[in-house]
């Protein structure tokens, strides 16, 4: 049958966070993730039985994206770099990828998830993926995950990527500072958002003051402010 993409949901909304916040986009959310972050708000995408999804051939998925007609397309998840995103490119569209930063797209991968699901793909085309807007979200210790050193070094060395961190307290902001120092990440490329899925969780001006004082960009989480934890927003 050929290569297939597992898709959890496709929906139209605004980009809620990162360096394109407020942009009207079409979101393609893939099923399956190689991490299990404690505060994840899309746990229904982790594994085969976590939530419902549908398999698509590349041509089918490209056709749906083309039919929607929204020129800004966000690949999210789950973890979209587990799949051959370069097969979905149409020159008339702009692509954004939200990744946890643990996978290098230009290398082939073969991953077995905790439920036994095997995911395998070839290396993505370097020239194709360099045209994407990559939002890389390394996980802090508050997620109970570990940073993949080799992958993070890859992303730091690519000028088409920015970095987004989710913080819940002052210690998290200091951890971002330490990571930026350790990996020589330009603070102009770093966006920090506030952890939580309630509107109240996003209204912490004292934390935003500290983010700005540290020299980082603040990433509002507009979808949470507007709709809370509502799916497909």
What is the CATH classification number for the domain harbouring 93?
A: 3.20.20.70
| pLDDT of amino acid 176 | 97
The mean-pLDDT minimum among 53-57, 70-74, 130-134, 140-144 falls in 140-144
Which two structure tokens, joined as six digits, stand for 12? Answer: 């139209």
Assigned domain for 192 exists: no
pLDDT level of residue 1 (50, 70, 90 thresholds): low
Assigned domain for 172 exists: no
Range of the domain at 105: 5-167
Assigned domain for 196 exists: no
pLDDT tens-place string over residues 200-228: 999 999 999 999 999 999 999 999 999 99
Assigned domain for 233 exists: no
| pLDDT of amino acid 143 | 80
Report the share of the chain in percent with pLDDT over 70: 99
**Count of domains for the chain:** 1
pLDDT tens-place string over residues 18-67: 999 999 999 999 999 999 988 888 999 999 999 999 999 999 999 999 99
Assigned domain for 120 exists: yes
Max Cα-Cα span within the chain: 54
CB 112 within 8 A of CB 133: no
Which two structure tokens, joined as six digits, stand for 66? Answer: 């083309």
Q: Within a 10 A sphere around the Cβ of 225, how many other Cβ atoms?
A: 14
Assigned domain for 212 exists: no
**pTM for the whole thing?**
0.95
Assigned domain for 208 exists: no
Which residues are registered as beta bridge partners of 200?
none
Assigned domain for 188 exists: no
Residues with Cβ within 8 Å of 149's Cβ and at least 6 positions away in sequence, in order, are none
């Amino acid at each position: 049958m050929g290569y297939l993409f597992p898709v959890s949901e496709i929906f139209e909304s605004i980009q809620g966070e990162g360096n394109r916040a407020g942009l009207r986009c079409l979101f393609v959310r893939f099923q399956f993730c190689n991490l299990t972050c404690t505060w994840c708000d899309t746990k229904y995408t982790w594994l085969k039985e976590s939530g419902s999804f549908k398999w698509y051939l590349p041509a089918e998925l490209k056709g749906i994206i083309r039919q929607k007609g929204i020129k800004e397309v966000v690949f999210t998840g789950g973890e979209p770099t587990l799949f051959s995103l370069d097969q979905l490119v149409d020159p008339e569209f702009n692509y954004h990828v939200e990744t946890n930063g643990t996978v290098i797209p230009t290398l082939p991968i073969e991953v077995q998830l905790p439920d036994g699901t095997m995911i395998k793909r070839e290396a993505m085309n370097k020239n194709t993926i360099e045209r994407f807007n990559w939002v890389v979200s390394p996980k802090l210790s508050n997620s109970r995950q570990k940073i993949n050193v080799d992958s993070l070094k890859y992303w730091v060395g690519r000028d088409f990527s920015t970095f987004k961190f989710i913080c819940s307290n002052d210690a998290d902001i200091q951890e971002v500072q330490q990571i930026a120092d350790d990996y020589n990440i330009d603070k102009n490329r770093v966006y920090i958002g506030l952890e939580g899925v309630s509107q109240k969780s996003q209204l912490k001006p004292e934390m935003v003051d500290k983010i700005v004082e540290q020299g980082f960009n603040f990433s509002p989480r507009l979808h949470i402010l507007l709709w809370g934890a509502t799916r497909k927003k």
